[in-house]
Amino acid sequence: MTRTLVLDDVTKAFPTGTVALEEVSLSVSAGEFVSVVGPSGCGKSTLLRLASGLDEVSGGDVEVNATSTSYVFQEPTLLEWRSALRNVELVGELRGVPKLERRRRAREALDLVGLSGFEKQHPRQLSGGMRMRVSIARALVAEPDLALFDEPFGALDEITRLRMQTELQSLFALKSFAGLFITHSVSEAVYLSTRVVVMSGRPGRVVADIPVPWGYPRTPELRYEPEFGALVGEVSAALGEHS
Amino acid sequence: MSTAAVHQPTAHPENRTAPQEAHVTSTATPAASSTVASAETPAAGSVPPSGPTPRAGSGRAAGRRRLAGAVAKVGPLLAAVAGIVAVWYVVTYLVLSPERRFLLPPLHQVLGTTLGNPLVMGPMLDALWQTVGVALCGLAIAVVLGIGYAVVMVQSGWAERILYPYAVILQTIPILALTPLIGIWMGYGFSARIVVCVIIALFPMIANTLFGLQSASPAAHDLFTLNRATRAQRLFKLQFPAALPSIFTGLRNAAGLSVIGAIVGDFFFQQGSPGIGGLLRTYTLRLNMDSLFMAIILTALFGVAMFSVFAALDRAVIGRWYGRSGA
Ligand SMILES: Nc1ncnc2c1ncn2[C@@H]1O[C@H](COP(=O)(O)OP(=O)(O)OP(=O)(O)O)[C@@H](O)[C@H]1O
Ligand SMILES: [Mg+2]
């Protein structure tokens, strides 16, 4: 199995003096979906920015073995003047994919997230959950080897959030990219992931790396199983000890 | 005309988020932008989400609603005009004694002596036409220069730091302090009038465009960075579209200011065919009160027309831009 993302002893200190991450080592392979949970401000977003190359490490190494990396932001970050379809197309446009090809792929991606029929709607005409779906479609349209998610469901209501989790894990089952997913929610991390990484408070360090045994696709009912509850408890305990 | 009167309506340097720009101030945060948009045009919220399904029978109701909307829009304006006319007559007949009544002749007399008389109206309309030309010309130049200047400024932090002060200086020097110099340098004709117009209309274009170009969220910029967007792609696919609402706000303000600039230019630079501002001065010197008031009415109508046209353009373009006018 190729290791798509490798963080080796990564440290990040900002010019302001804040040490956000300290000696973090973490790897994500193809077919792995790794969630990172940790207290607010422990450097989770910083971790993603380093992994994506948006920001540079102060120490250690980042190795990415991917031809295409995608990033889903906490906010949908759609261009309001573009329709849903044209928002998804943007990625192909920037990368120079021919128009017909990128349009076809954008339609497929929207279809995949259950938005066929909404291609021409503008972001303002969509609900919060639908906007996030467009954002995910935009991330998946480039067939990423590595997909990074920064708390994408944080702003959604509980019902929408659970539905989006179900959809995301089935998309993962379908596409099997290497996924790195930031979240505040322990049950979300357990439900989605093959592994849950727990970080300590700032400066962020990896304090636990807990494997999740179930395969994909996962049913929504998995959340009510006692084993699921036990694993949520284990992650919460690791989180509690170090925050 | 005092300096203060000329300068009051322009956007103040610190006031880059003044009320007239309210609908763009929060485009920087994606979360806030949707609410801001609906605040800007209350109609946005009431548009049914899927546009192209008007049911039969709702046509007449929609027509009535549109009529009611037009009345609601025009009604206050008509009421304001009626109020001004009423005050006018009160001052003419109840405040001024008959021997001082020439200071404010009654409206029907103003209209009567001017509208029916081609010897008065002919030159006045010619002059107005001349001023419209100067204003539109000055506005066009100000738009091109203003947008260009802002685009250059947004290219880097130091470009903005170096260039912005010039814009502020241009804005803070009272135009009346510059007009004599412009006359000496440019002569007292058409081009000097346009220069005054450009100077006065330029700042809102620069400030609003710059503000708009900078309004795209950091996350949107990250998205472009992650996809290795070129500078041109970033400008034309992100910054420029994001700036469009504030560019139109700037255009609306600049349009109003270009009218003032053109009239101030007319007033001072009298070579060549006179503009309406030139006639204002002539009528004043001759104490030709009826014509003076008619000329004032014409300039007011011109100002209102310019503002309304650009406000309507603003609404139409921005509405389409954000997909409001149906899918
Ligand atoms: N550009 C920056 N300059 C200076 N300090 C920064 C910068 N970005 C982040 N930080 C600091 O680094 C720390 C980690 O920030 P980060 O955004 O990664 O946290 P987080 O775990 O994502 O928090 P949250 O869960 O609230 O999103 C914080 O203390 C933050 O103040
Ligand atoms: Mg964060």
Question: What are chain B's domains?
Answer: 125-318 (1.10.3720.10)
A59 phi and psi, to 5 degrees? -155, 155
| ipTM at complex level | 0.91
Q: What was the pLDDT predicted at B38?
A: 35
Same domain, A239 and A157: yes
Residues with CB under 6 A from ligand 1: A 14, 16, 18, 20, 40-46, 202
Q: Is residue A73 domain-resident?
A: no
Query: Average pLDDT of B96-111?
Result: 88
Q: Is A123 on the interface with B (CB under 8 A)?
A: yes
**Domain-located, residue A202:** yes
The reported pLDDT for the residue numbered B316 is 86
Q: Containing domain of residue A13, as a range?
A: 1-68+146-223+234-243
**Least confident window among A191-200, B47-56, B125-134:** B47-56
Q: Answer whether residue A228 is part of any domain.
A: no
- pLDDT for A48 beyond 90: yes
Q: Are residues A59 and A111 in the same domain?
A: no
- Looking at the structure, do residues A53 and A161 belong to the same domain, yes or no? yes
Mean pLDDT score across all residues of chain B: 80
Q: Sorting pLDDT into bands at 50, 70 and 90, what band is A105?
A: very high
Q: Across the strands, what pairs with A180?
A: A34, A148
**pLDDT value of position B131:** 93
The pLDDT confidence band at residue A242, using thresholds 50, 70 and 90, is: low
Determine whether the interchain pair A81/B33 forms a contact, defined as Cβ–Cβ distance below 8 Å.
no
The answer to whether residue A103 sits within a structural domain is yes
Q: Looking at residues B20-49, what average pLDDT do you find? A: 36
Label residue B177 by pLDDT band (50, 70, 90). Answer: confident
CA of A41 to the centre of ligand 1 (A): 5
Q: CA of B219 to nearest chain A CA: how many angstroms apart? A: 7
In a domain, residue A213? The reply is yes
The structure's pTM equals 0.79
Q: Answer yes or no: do A175 and A211 share one domain.
A: yes
The pLDDT of A130-149, averaged and rounded, is 92
Query: Is the pLDDT confidence value at B162 over 50?
Result: yes
The reply to whether A175 and A238 lie within a common domain is: yes
Which is higher by pLDDT, B24 or A199? A199
**Peptide bond between residue A217 and the one before it cis (omega within 30 degrees of 0):** yes
Higher pLDDT, B34 or B205: B205
Domain-terminating residue out of A127, A143, A159: A143
- Quote the pLDDT of residue B59: 66
Tell me if chain A has a CB within 8 Å of the CB of B321.
Answer: yes
Residue B143 pLDDT > 80, yes or no? yes
- B70 pLDDT higher than 90: no
Q: How many CA atoms lie within 13 A of A160 on its CB side?
A: 13
pLDDT tens digits for A170-223? 889 888 889 999 998 999 999 999 999 999 888 888 998 999 999 888 999 999
- Contact at CB, A122 and B228, closer than 8 angstroms: no
Single out the residue in A105, A126, A143 at which a domain terminates.
A143
Mark whether A152 and A139 lie in a shared domain.
Answer: no
Nearest residue to B261 via CA among B323, B174, B325, B324: B174
Average pLDDT over every residue of B107-115: 89
> pLDDT category, A243, cuts 50, 70, 90?
low
* % chain B with pLDDT above 70: 80
* pLDDT at B15 exceeding the cut of 50: no
Cα-to-centroid distance, A139 and ligand 2 (Å): 18
Last residue of a domain, one of A110, A128, A143: A143
Q: How far is the CA of A73 from the centre of ligand 2 (A)?
A: 9
Residue B139 has pLDDT above 50, yes or no: yes
Q: Write the pLDDT tens digit of every residue in B293-302.
A: 999 999 999 9
Same domain, A20 and A96: no
Cα–Cα distance, A165 to B22 (Å, whole number): 37
pLDDT at B20: 39
Say if residue A126 is in the same domain as residue A59. no
| A7, A10, A18, best to mutate for ligand 1 pocket (most atoms within 8 Å of CB) | A18
A117 touching B, CB under 8 A?
no
Is A3 within the bounds of a domain?
A: yes
The verdict on A127 and A35 lying in the same domain is: no
Indicate if A186 and A139 belong to the same structural domain: no
Residue B14 has a pLDDT of: 38
Residue A127 counted as domain residue = yes
Range from A189-193, B148-152, B155-159 carrying the lowest mean pLDDT: B155-159
Domains contained in chain A, number: 2
pLDDT band at B86 (very low <50, low <70, confident <90, very high): very high
